[in-house]
Chains A and B, each alone.
Chain A
């Protein structure tokens, strides 16, 4: 299965085409195709996971012979898709010569790989390494170089496969009820399938070029689904905004990937690029530039502060879409990219040295600023959206402090509990068609008990309630990373403080949300409608997700918790299976370390939870605290205003930047075009015509023709003058005669 992973994105892609083509004619509008395809994918993803676990437990070094065998048979049995040769490459197995040979067959950049393999050998001596399964075929050639497309399976992509397919499946099921009767039911499912395909394609990428493709395709699906109800302008505005903000990030993505392509000597291969970065074969400056460029992309796709503004707006889409795309899967594409190219980021940003770096700063700032914004929202989905921004900040921060596993682990748990929360909000709003919890909700714990329980579990996980919930384990690991990996405690303390503050904020705003939604008296629409719990297709996914929101945290129990040793085959399973051990991943030699469970951090974060949740409890339930302070205090009001205006970023982007490009700048450019450039052209044309006219009028008609006319006119004029001499009077003639004769005579006389 590991070598046939290409099937996983292919199935939903085919489903997309089928749904578009036949969906409307099917009894369930194409949703059955979608669900079937995603179910198959989920099963396949589980198969991949099993395969991968087996591979980690029994690394291929011992069975290398059979592996090669496998390659050979594939050559034979595969219909050699598109008629091109497919090759499997396994960089960095201990068996260096054999690997080099294999790479010779891979036909990409073989000159470099023996080095990589040799280094792999060194690393391999220290600890057991499990190479990824890479299977590629030729995509296109340029300048004589073949570019490969293929799949790469390792722990990271396996986790993503499972998360994406599972959540996609649950969202599909949820949607069949939730969007039933929608005006574009079939299109909705088609796009869900396309999204699933794109995301799976993305996480299976074996080359950075492929990542760009997947990256943009998920962006397209996001655009299509945010703008699902495009009849209303705000929705299409939100869709446009999402796409354009992401495009801004894509500048960084393109530039970063291009820098890496050339820095690595002309290859897009993820494994090669990372390996070279780890071995110091790429100039540090280039790695730094590439990392910084790519961080822009992460900021846009994963909603990091200052490019996060699209994410809350993206809630204009249907709620299941928010759960799938804008909380659990697509937005973590940025995180995934950093994790995937961690060799580049780790070395480029010198994360291992413990100094503060761009990634950590971006993450830290985002996680707090996002959490603060969640306070002033009155739309349940917006609160969750800002919470997502904040949680993504945790992941970025974790990557920035070098806690790779913590970041991915948090990604894993967050996917479940955030999907649970989003779908829960959809369940709440299903009947009342409103997400405004201040106006239209309240007291819903009685009318929707199951939703209430699952939502509460999700909230607990998000808050990180100790021991039981998954959020605790993952968030704690992130914070531990921030506290431990900073070397002498210089660099990352900032990140740790921000993380703790945000943890308190998270608890507070979630408690506020719970209060407004589930407690108090029903308000607005929730009072008008006779509410009841939703059907099984909505509640069942919620329950599954709530279950996972608790249990998923147990996959990476620390080795020691408060002095209690966890059995070895239970502890750190996630790290063991997911974290790459091959040369394309930073090693201790690069300064990569693992954080351990830190009791005092756990205690402090517990305090943060109590302070946050307790404070909010006292404020809302008991009515304590300075209520109405925003009306009384100037500073509090100013702070509230800043948050309400989302730090003014929207105004900056939409009104100033986009507005000025759409308006004055574009008009100016157009003006230049019409008046300057076209003006020049027209002026040349007019001048040419004028000079033609001038030539005609003055030279042709004036001079050339003039000479002809002038001779005529001269004769005419002369006649006119001489005419006067002809008086018709004979006497005058006589007089002339005599005068003439006299003159002649006089001449004769004088001359003689």
Chain B
């Protein structure tokens, strides 16, 4: 079992969804139930593989890549099929394989228009391959392929299954991220050509291998060059995060996407950007990171306040949640910008926590939309009266989202603020302390917009419009899809070491190139 996993574990978790998708292709479109069963089974099998990986992961050596594979891929440019999992990627892989089955379960009776389970589930499975692939890839080009691979299914999901303005939103999403990717590929190529050659099989060649490049750590690279290359990565990842001021695709994409799309987008897709910073940009180009860190930190805290203000102005529940993502990812980026193990640990925790919590909020928003056919906050109210369980869960998720201790959100937020007090790598302390205070002020705003949302949506009495309406509380599928997320939000909140102990050594390792922090 262990040997099998070491050889195939990482590959299996990436490509099994595609196998399921292939099976589904062979089944006629009209067999809807069969499609659902196949898709769910596939995702559960992937989840089981993920659990097997979790169980067999050697937690004492979180810094080393495990389940490692290195095979020839594109010989001519020496791009190789290198996959492996370490403490940084493990939580995110776990998050992905955890969320996808829940999304499929949630979809069971909630397929968005134009109701076509086959296509919809295919998109989800293809997405899963791209997402997990990005997290296991250890070759820059392979990573890039997976990174881009994610765009297409998401584009169709928004463009076909989205709301009224879906065409605009999907196109914006696609073009915006593709624009970032264009700069990123330039950065990847620059890294490829400027890094020293590596001897493989007696031949000295350039390499895309992240392992080799991390070891190199930008040594001997002119500072300006490093800054420029980092800038390329910054655009590619920063747009994906999304960082202020490159965030404007997000509210549109979220608002227009179907619930399932929003959940996946919030839970996993945004993490590709932050993961890229942690995994690629900072370890490979520490000098560039040092130069960029104050800028990233500044944009992060602007994003925190700005996202919060944006939330306060929204009239649409889903759009509000989307804006809150901007603020939350601000905390994650602030943690990353400190270039300290504290901050980056917090950032990874924040990624997982945000994935669970915001995913949950989008689920609830989706169900509210399903019941009321509107998300206009003004028209809602008294959710706690009409659908008490959903109302409670909205309250719960809001509390988690605003960073209440004891729930997962806190451990992403507080350590990130904490780390800003004492940034690493000789960054300007006074500046980062200022960031810290701003970020702390951001927590007030977070409480403000979330509680205000809660008050307007859940408290009070229903508006006249829906006074007589029969509102169905949670469905069975809702219970199945939501319960695991709730449980994990609580468990991670109470015992944060579940993630910290996994990431810590890997993060410390990845920052070695920065020198003593």
Chain A interface residues toward B at CB < 8 A: 82, 138-144, 212-214, 216-217, 220, 223, 227, 230-233, 236-237, 240, 243-244, 247-248, 250-251, 254-255, 258-259, 261-262, 658, 661-662, 665-670, 673, 677-678, 680-681, 685
Contacts and interface: CB of A to CB of B under 8 A. Distances in A.
A143 B384 contact: no
Nearest to A263: B421
A244 B451 contact: yes
Given A236-B459, A240-B452, A140 B500 contact: yes
11 contacts: A139-B495, A141-B504, A212-B405, A212-B414, A213-B410, A231-B460, A233-B460, A236-B460, A251-B440, A254-B418, A666-B313
Given A143-B508, A236-B455, A247-B443, A681 B172 contact: yes
Interface in B410-427: 410-411, 414-415, 417-418, 421-422
B399 to A, nearest CB: 6
Given A240-B451, A247-B443, A251-B440, A217 B404 contact: yes
A237 to B, nearest CB: 8
B497 A244 contact: no
Interface stretch (B124-132, B304-312, B481-489): B304-312
Nearest to B418: A258
B37 interface: no
A142 B341 contact: yes
A231 B215 CA distance: 60
A247 B410 CA distance: 14
A139 B496 contact: yes
B248 A673 contact: yes
B406 interface: yes
Contact of A142 (B385, B452, B460, B504): B504
Contact of A248 (B311, B346, B404, B444): B444
B452 A662 contact: yes
Contacts of B312: 661-662, 665-666, 669
A529 to B, nearest CB: 28
Indicate the member of A248, A258, A259 with the most B CB atoms within 10 Å: A258
Contacts of B309: 661, 665-666, 668-670
B421 A258 contact: yes
Given A143-B342, A230-B459, A231-B382, A254 B248 contact: no
Given A213-B406, A661-B448, A144 B508 contact: yes
B460 A259 contact: no
A233 B404 CA distance: 24
Given A251-B444, A261-B418, A667-B313, 5 more contacts: A233-B460, A254-B414, A255-B436, A259-B421, A669-B306
User: For chain A, what secondary structure do more than half of its interface residues adopt (helix, strand, loop), or is it mixed?
Assistant: helix
Contact of A254 (B346, B440, B460): B440
Nearest to B402: A247
A307 to B, nearest CB: 12
Contact of A230 (B247, B384, B417, B505): B384
A254 B417 contact: yes
A216 B440 contact: no
Name the 8 nearest CB pairs between A and B, nearest first: A666-B312, A670-B313, A669-B309, A213-B405, A140-B497, A143-B341, A666-B313, A230-B459
Interface string B420-460: 01100000000000001100110111011001100100111
A217 B403 CA distance: 11
B255 interface: no
B460 A677 contact: no
Contacts of B341: 142-144
Interface in B330-369: 340-342, 345-346
Contacts of B445: 661
B501 interface: yes
A685 B172 contact: yes
A143 B340 contact: yes
Contacts of B447: 243-244, 247
Contacts of B340: 143
Interface string B459-474: 1110000000000000
B416 to A, nearest CB: 11
A743 B500 CA distance: 104
A681 B176 contact: yes
Nearest to B391: A230
Contacts of A658: 448
Contacts of B444: 244, 247-248, 250-251
Contacts of A217: 404-406
B314 A670 contact: yes
B450 to A, nearest CB: 10
Contacts of A220: 399, 404
A117 B129 CA distance: 57
Nearest to A232: B460
Contacts of A213: 405-406, 410
A658 B455 CA distance: 15
Interface string B78-114: 0000000000000000000000000000000000000
A677 B417 contact: no
A408 to B, nearest CB: 25
Contacts of A251: 437, 440-441, 443-444
B294 to A, nearest CB: 19
A140 B492 CA distance: 11
Contacts of A223: 451
B310 A254 contact: no
A231 B385 contact: yes
A673 B309 CA distance: 10
Nearest to A236: B459
B239 to A, nearest CB: 11
B462 to A, nearest CB: 10
Given A144-B508, A240-B455, A231 B417 contact: no
B143 interface: no
A587 B487 CA distance: 47
B504 A666 contact: no
A228 B254 CA distance: 33
Contacts of B436: 255, 258
A520 B436 CA distance: 58
B249 interface: yes
B167 to A, nearest CB: 13
A155 B316 CA distance: 52
A212 B176 CA distance: 40
A248 B441 CA distance: 7
B74 interface: no
B404 A216 contact: yes
A146 to B, nearest CB: 9
Contacts of A244: 444, 447-448, 451
A187 to B, nearest CB: 9
B160 to A, nearest CB: 21
B313 A144 contact: no
Contacts of B440: 250-251, 254-255
A273 B443 CA distance: 25
A141 B500 contact: yes
Contacts of B23: none
Contacts of A662: 312, 448, 452
A144 B441 CA distance: 29
Nearest to A229: B459
A231 B458 CA distance: 9
Nearest to A245: B444
Interface string B498-517: 00110011001000000000
A193 B385 CA distance: 23
A231 B459 contact: yes
Nearest to A235: B459
B421 A138 contact: no
A677 B245 contact: yes
B52 interface: no
A434 to B, nearest CB: 22
B422 A142 contact: no
A236 to B, nearest CB: 4
Interface in B364-384: 382, 384
A669 B313 contact: yes
A143 B345 contact: yes
A460 to B, nearest CB: 40
